[in-house]
Structure 1
Amino acid sequence: MAEQLENYRVYAVKYAHHDRPASNNFIGGDPHDESMPLDYFVWAVVGESRTFIVDTGFDAKTAAGRGRSILNPIDAGLGKIGIRASEVEDVIITHMHYDHAGNHDLFPRARYHVQDREMAFCTGRCMCHTMLRNTFEADDVKAMVDRVFTGRVQFHDGVSHLAPGLALHWVGGHTGGLQVVRVHTARGWVVLASDASHLYANMNQGRPFPIVYNVGDMLEGYETLHRLADSPSHVIPGHDPDVLRRFPAHDRETEGWIARLDAEPR
């Protein structure tokens, strides 16, 4: 008998915003160089019996140090969709960059899911190079090591099926161990790309984001994203403000803040 797949609810929860020119978002720049800002998200995957938080954002200290502003605290956004951070039991870290792996104390009960290759990447010889380490926060990496020693990290190698209808897939590229999340929903298979593709334009035009460890893996990752998803509209980039315009809000109060990715696009 085939395994019954759950239809998860999937939310994009915006917590910060950063204005920047388009030239900063593509290797080789952009000839138009218009404004092309980034939004910062965490994601929630909610099933009947389990809830998974995907990435944990950055905190106020990191925001101040990197010239960023937090618009909505992550725990407040999760609260709007009925999730208490203190009760979350599963956190998926797509990769260990500062804007995806901070807020060390926000999920005290959670087990963290990380790729083997990502921990090796952010604790190994690649961090001897300023260009590769400057998007990591040492405190975030130390906090993850502490969790390893308290039994709160589950490592994954390549493809892992966490639950019926939810799987992790290594793609690399942006970092050595970046993973994407494939989720079954009422509208089909959705893929949370995280920084495998920051913007729709990166993957749709084959133009990689300039913060990258392996360009070849990033380009192959675009193919993987579309192979895993049911259609291009089922691939959700990691930082594109257009996500909040394409998908309906959770409710009127959260318009422009929280979107339902399991719902049909507008």
Structure 2
Amino acid sequence: MALQIHVLDYGDIELETSFLVLGHECGRTRRVPVYGFLITGGAYPIVVDTGYRDNAIMESLGMRGLQFHDNMIENQLAKHGLKMGDIRYVLHTHLHIDHAGKDDLFPMNTTVVLNRRELEFSVSGIMYPQYPKPDILHLVERVYEDDAMRFLDLELTGAEEIMPGVWCEPAGAHTEGSMNVIVETAEGLACICGDVVYDFNDQIVKHVRVNNYMEPQVTGNHSGSKRAEKAAFKKLMNNYTFVLPTHDKGAKVEHGQVVGRTGMVVPGPLTETLPKREWFPM
């Protein structure tokens, strides 16, 4: 069976728009989704990212959490006929507050997989309080339990396979230890990229305050250089058929351009098809 990716809806958060795109609409509040992903069709199901712990914890960042009963991870998995204990691996694009808040609901024989540099970065004090104490302490506890944690060293290895058709690569953006999850689908490679991309429209389709036609706009929340973030974005746009971020609908990409937006299953029908942009020499 070909691998499929199902979007898990963990609720929404309200935050300032300039958090998503650097300097854009400062002071304006915007509501965005928080997605996780379920990979099926392989030897066992895999979850990528687990959302935020509860609504109250988002207040530590000055944000509002909007998570309801239907958004609970166990209820999202139940829609696919799965229980928490059925998941073999939980992969993390990174460990920010809205990505690793429900790991403690999984049994210790579910292996959490992350880039070793990301756990190191999470306890370094940089970008605090985006790494909440209860989330990170739970992951430290997992280090000392057999099979509860698997570390990748992607800066050195370049890529590591999780199971046939699923592997991880260094993201090169957002946080020092962020990683992308690559899935081989029937229609091409899909990349689950976490927060390397926040908003396709404002960053690339109708990008704001950028005068070069295919130059991406950077986010307002990154730990590395702006140049590195732009390069990571360009890599996504030039190497994958589907690009799936955490806070925006996924995109189908052809020749470096967004040509459609994905629904709740990838591959699957597009919810919106965009016209290809034609570029002419000056």
Q: 1:55 to 1:96 in 2, by over 3 A?
A: same
Q: Deviations over 1:159-193 (max 9, x none)?
A: 11112211111113211100111101122111111
Shift in Å, 1:69? 2.0
Could you say which structure has the greater relative contact order, defined with CA pairs below 8 angstroms and 6 or more residues apart? Answer: 1
TM-score by length of 2: 0.78
For residues 49-68 of structure 1, the aligned pairs below 5 Å read 49-60=43-54, 62-63=57-58, 67-68=64-65
In 1, are the aligned partners of 2:18 and 2:220 still within 8 Å (CA)?
A: no
Q: Deviations over 1:213-258 (max 9, x none)?
A: 013322121122123313xxx1112201577x9434xxxxxxxxxx
In 2, are the aligned partners of 1:187 and 1:264 still within 8 Å (CA)?
A: no
Corresponding position: 1:238 with 2:239: no
Shift in Å, 1:35? 6.3
For residues 1-266 of structure 1, the aligned pairs below 5 Å read 7-20=2-15, 22-30=17-25, 36-60=30-54, 62-63=57-58, 67-71=64-68, 72-108=71-107, 109-124=109-124, 127=125, 129=126, 132-151=127-146, 152-158=148-154, 159-201=159-201, 203-204=203-204, 205=207, 206-214=216-224, 215-230=226-241, 234-240=242-248, 246-248=261-263, 259-266=264-271
Distance 1:47 1:105 in 2: 25
In 1, are the aligned partners of 2:21 and 2:198 still within 8 Å (CA)?
A: no
Distance 2:265 2:16 in 1: 28
Q: 1:247 to 1:190 in 2, by over 3 A?
A: same
Shift in Å, 1:9? 1.1
Gaps in structure 1 of 5+ consecutive residues? 1-5, 249-258
Q: Report SS of the residue matched to 1:105.
A: helix
Q: Report SS of the residue matched to 2:33.
A: strand
The match for 2:212 is none
Q: Report SS of the residue matched to 2:103.
A: coil
Distance 1:24 1:121 in 2: 20
In 2, are the aligned partners of 1:181 and 1:192 still within 8 Å (CA)?
A: yes
Q: CA RMSD in A?
A: 2.4
Distance 1:54 1:69 in 2: 20
Distance 2:43 2:153 in 1: 25
Q: Deviations over 1:70-122 (max 9, x none)?
A: 13211101110122112211000110101001113221131011102111211
Q: Report SS of the residue matched to 2:34.
A: strand
Shift in Å, 1:64? 6.3
Shift in Å, 1:18? 2.4
Q: Greater shift after overlay, 111-120 or 56-65?
A: 56-65
The match for 2:276 is none
In 1, are the aligned partners of 2:46 and 2:89 still within 8 Å (CA)?
A: yes
Q: Report SS of the residue matched to 1:146.
A: helix
In 2, are the aligned partners of 1:7 and 1:165 still within 8 Å (CA)?
A: no
Q: Greater shift after overlay, 59-68 or 80-89?
A: 59-68
Distance 1:81 1:142 in 2: 30
The match for 1:3 is none
Q: Percent identity between the aligned chains? A: 22
Q: Which has the higher strand share?
A: 2
In 2, are the aligned partners of 1:171 and 1:224 still within 8 Å (CA)?
A: no
Q: Which has the higher helix share?
A: 1
The match for 1:252 is none
Which of structures 1 and 2 has the bigger CA Rg?
2
Q: Deviations over 1:29-82 (max 9, x none)?
A: 249x87643100111011242111001111225356553121321110111012
Shift in Å, 1:208? 1.6
Q: 1:40 to 1:143 in 2, by over 3 A?
A: same
In 1, are the aligned partners of 2:244 and 2:250 still within 8 Å (CA)?
A: no
In 1, are the aligned partners of 2:262 and 2:269 still within 8 Å (CA)?
A: yes
Distance 2:168 2:9 in 1: 22
